[in-house]
């Protein structure tokens, strides 16, 4: 079920991001699962520090660790595999993995190491270097990491860096954001995929980019504008997003790759995986973070089209954006983020269904292969690797927050055990080159610390989220949901569908979803009869219930059945 605009966002904020409103924190639990969660939390903590300490010892200040050879790679830029003596003289390393680890350090309670890292970055990090970088990757990893860390460093409740922090990370983020802006100087406003940090867009630069590459910049650049007061960053990202949306087909579908100068599609086939995934994610999360109605309208239309043209039972295939006809029947590991996104909009049933299929594939191979051919029920012959991706752990975390079903704890335990069994080496955690043989590859991606370990840790210990509202970027960096960042707070944001359930220990918000109520009922308590809105209710698009298609009809609040459009043009329970 897709929640309506009126209920979806705030259900997200209080159901998922502030778990203290729905259930006691882990420290308050008194159940057989409490000991299990504490044990698994410590296993994840050890995993994180094994990866982090090896990076600091063998690769810092370069981008990422090569755990098998205990060396480094500067993977974010074209400097990639150059040896130390061949690096440009002005290159000091971007310390990518350190930046990516900052919020994880705070979440795991290591404020001392966080402060040391912030001080080092403040004194040493520079972006005035002759390096060609990928705009999308640098945005979600570096810019997002700096912004999230700045917010954590200035949050008085965290008691971090008392008196010694003077917005140095924000200054670095602003400098980086300014270096991004020349990439948007195109006839369409769609940014180049690659840019040189020192010299801007290079001559004969490729004009091809992906939907994710130009449509997944709004969270970080929007947050940068809100923090600095400089509107150029958000304006550039929003212009690109709106241009991209204008290029959709009549089916409200988009392709995978396009030309930033002509605005023409190159690859018409797309799905919810690589090249498109974070576009959908950022539409939804941008609405939550900034409150702009346009984001929700775009996401709602796109989501309905995905469900109509890509979904086949619990799976999602790819389709031609022009016709909606299936093109590739394949599961990709990046698709595993989708159940987590569905949780954010309240489509719990569909999220659970897809998530269980990903878990099945994980258990079949021990990890999640990069690509699995659904029509042949076999691995893709060349993409059999697993680069320590976080998406399954991410969706598992969201589903547990929404349902509190201990089965998801067991899934998390299985993921942790597999990672320790198959990927842990003396020098860190290594990617899997071939899931059939578990042959390893010499690469520990920074997102293993930014996302994989973080989501697993939060699955077992959500203390960081208690009494706080956050969304996580596509790279797992937390951004706070602040009323001051919203352009407006209309009446629809007032929590009219919430009531309060009191106990001797605490007063907490309760909703239909938290009480797992469907349909709407009246709950009798010591404080009188309280009406609780149905968790499944989705109003019709129009107040007069007129319609042209079934998509304009909602879900009935009494029966929780999907309403349909009659031949006379009215929504109702006709079928």
Catalytic residue numbers? 137, 277, 370, 391
**Tokens linked to 271:** 């799905």
Tallying the residues shown for the chain, one arrives at 575
Strand partners, 210: 257
CA neighbours within 13 Å on the CB side: how many for 425? 21
**Tokens linked to 544:** 């007069």
CA neighbours within 13 Å on the CB side: how many for 185? 10
């969270």: which residue's tokens?
219
Taking each helix axis as running N to C, give the angle between helix 277-290 and helix 232-246, from 0 to 180 degrees, rounded to the nearest 10: 130
* Integer Rg of the chain from CA: 23
Containing H/E element for 329? none
């460093």: which residue's tokens?
153
User: Does residue 438 sit in helix, strand or coil?
Assistant: coil
| Distance in angstroms between the alpha carbons of the first and the last residue of the chain | 18
Taking each helix axis as running N to C, give the angle between helix 144-153 and helix 96-107, from 0 to 180 degrees, rounded to the nearest 10: 40
Could you give phi then psi for residue 288, rounded to 5 degrees? Answer: -65, -45
In this structure, the dihedral spanned by the alpha carbons of residues 64, 67, 70 and 75, taken in order and rounded to 10 degrees, is -20
DSSP assigned state of 370: S
Answer whether 289's CB lies under 8 Å from 221's CB: no
474 is in an annotated binding site: yes
Nearest to 273 by CA among 316, 237, 242, 243: 316
Question: Taken in order 529, 530, 536, 542, is the CA torsion positive or negative?
Answer: positive
Residues 6+ apart with CB under 8 A from 552: 540, 541, 542, 565, 571
Answer whether 407's CB lies under 8 Å from 469's CB: no
Distance of CA 10 to the CA centre of its chain: 18
CA–CA distance, 7 with 14 (Å, rounded to integer):
11
Answer whether 517's CB lies under 8 Å from 535's CB: yes
CA–CA distance, 480 with 486 (Å, rounded to integer):
12
Could you give phi then psi for residue 507, rounded to 5 degrees? Answer: -110, 125
Nearest to 68 by CA among 506, 424, 449: 424
Strand partners, 510: 499
Cα–Cα distances (Å) from 491 to 66, 460, 494, 495, in that order, read: 52, 36, 5, 9
Could you give phi then psi for residue 420, rounded to 5 degrees? Answer: -70, -35
Residue list for the binding site for Ca(2+): 474
Question: Binding site, residues?
Answer: 474
């Amino acid at each position: 079920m897709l929640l309506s605009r009126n209920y979806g966002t705030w259900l997200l904020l209080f159901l998922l991001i502030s778990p203290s409103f729905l259930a006691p924190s882990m420290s308050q639990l008194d159940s057989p699962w409490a000991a299990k969660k504490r044990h698994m939390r410590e296993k994840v903590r050890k995993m994180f520090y094994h990866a982090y300490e090896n990076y600091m010892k063998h690769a810092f200040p370069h981008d990422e660790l090569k755990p098998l050879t205990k060396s480094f790679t500067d993977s974010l830029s074209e400097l990639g595999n150059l040896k130390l003596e061949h690096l440009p003289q002005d290159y000091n390393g971007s310390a990518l993995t350190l930046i990516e680890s900052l919020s994880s350090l705070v979440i795991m309670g290591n404020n001392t190491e966080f402060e040391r890292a912030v001080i080092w970055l403040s004194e040493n990090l520079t972006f005035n270097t002759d390096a060609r970088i990928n705009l999308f990757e640098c945005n979600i990893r570096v810019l997002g990491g700096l912004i999230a860390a700045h917010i954590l460093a200035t949050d008085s409740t965290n008691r971090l860096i008392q008196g010694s922090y003077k917005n140095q990370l924000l200054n670095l983020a602003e400098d980086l954001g300014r270096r991004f802006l020349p990439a948007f100087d195109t006839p369409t406003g769609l940014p180049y995929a690659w840019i040189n940090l020192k010299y801007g867009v290079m001559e004969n630069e490729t004009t091809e980019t992906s939907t994710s590459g130009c449509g997944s910049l709004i969270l970080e650049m929007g947050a940068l504008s809100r923090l600095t007061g400089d509107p150029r960053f958000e304006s550039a990202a929003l212009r690109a997003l709106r241009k991209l949306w204008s290029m959709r087909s009549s089916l409200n579908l988009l392709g995978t790759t396009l030309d930033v100068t002509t605005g023409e599609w190159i690859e018409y086939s797309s799905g919810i995986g690589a090249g498109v995934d974070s576009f959908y994610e950022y539409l939804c999360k941008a609405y939550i973070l900034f409150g702009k109605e346009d984001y929700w309208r775009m996401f709602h239309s796109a989501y309905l089209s995905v469900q109509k043209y890509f979904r086949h039972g619990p799976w999602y295939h790819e389709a031609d954006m022009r016709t909606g006809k299936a093109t590739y029947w394949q599961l990709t590991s990046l698709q595993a983020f989708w159940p987590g996104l569905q949780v954010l909009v309240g489509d719990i049933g569909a999220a659970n269904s897809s998530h269980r299929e990903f878990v099945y594939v994980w258990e079949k191979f021990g990890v999640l292969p990069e690509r699995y051919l659904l029509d042949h029920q076999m691995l893709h012959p060349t993409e059999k690797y697993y680069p320590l991706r976080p998406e399954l752990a991410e969706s598992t975390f969201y589903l547990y927050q929404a349902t509190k079903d201990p089965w998801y704890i067991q899934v998390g335990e299985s993921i942790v055990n597999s990672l320790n069994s198959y990927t842990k080496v003396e020098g860190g955690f290594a990617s899997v080159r071939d899931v059939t043989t578990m042959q390893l590859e010499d690469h520990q991606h920074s997102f293993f610390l930014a996302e994989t370990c973080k989501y697993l840790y939060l699955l077992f210990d959500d203390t960081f989220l208690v009494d706080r509202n956050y969304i996580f970027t596509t790279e797992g960096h937390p951004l706070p949901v602040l009323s001051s960042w919203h352009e407006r707070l209309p009446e629809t944001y007032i929590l009219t569908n919430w009531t309060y359930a009191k106990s001797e220990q605490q007063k907490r918000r309760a909703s239909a979803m938290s009480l797992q109520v469907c349909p709407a009922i009246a709950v009798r308590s010591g404080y009188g009869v309280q009406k609780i809105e149905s968790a499944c209710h989705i109003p019709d698009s129009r107040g007069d219930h007129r319609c042209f298609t079934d998509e304009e009809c909602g879900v009935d609040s009494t029966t929780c059945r999907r309403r349909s459009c009659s031949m006379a043009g009215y929504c109702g329970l006709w079928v």
